[in-house]
Amino acid sequence: MGNIVSKFLHTRMRVSNLEETVKFYQTVFGLEVSRRHESPRGSKLVFLAVPNSDEEIELTYFPGSGPVEVQEDLMHLAFEVDDMNKFADHIKGLEYEFSDGPTLSSSGSTFAFVDAPEGYEVEVIEKPK
């Protein structure tokens, strides 16, 4: 039958403060805005390009759906970093801190979490060299 889908395109996350969240992903993770537009129903959409990946993150702001309340441990994004200590220094300089970790896993990877403005967790992973 072949592939039913041909490609993973993006993950959508609804946020309460679009510009604050865009700035968070730009400054903390170095993501770039690939495009912005408004949907037919009036949602404001911002797509973020991820380095070395075709997949994007879609942030959407739609006040008509009510306030965003992110349930604890609902989902997370994960990004690889080359050096956890350098990343820790980078976020400290931006006045952010890890919400959990860094922790050494049984596979030899080190992982930690940073909370985005709405409370979504973002995992960073340094794989063993």
Whether the Cβ atoms of residue 89 and residue 43 lie closer than 8 Å to each other? no
Distances (CA, A) of 21 to 5, 52, 103, 116: 30, 21, 26, 7
Determine the Cα–Cα distance for residues 122 and 125; give it in Å rounded to an integer.
10
Q: Give me the catalytic one of 55, 121, 123, 126.
A: 123
Residues 120/11, Cβ–Cβ less than 8 Å: no
Q: Is 123 a catalytic site residue?
A: yes
What amino acid positions are annotated as catalytic residues? 123
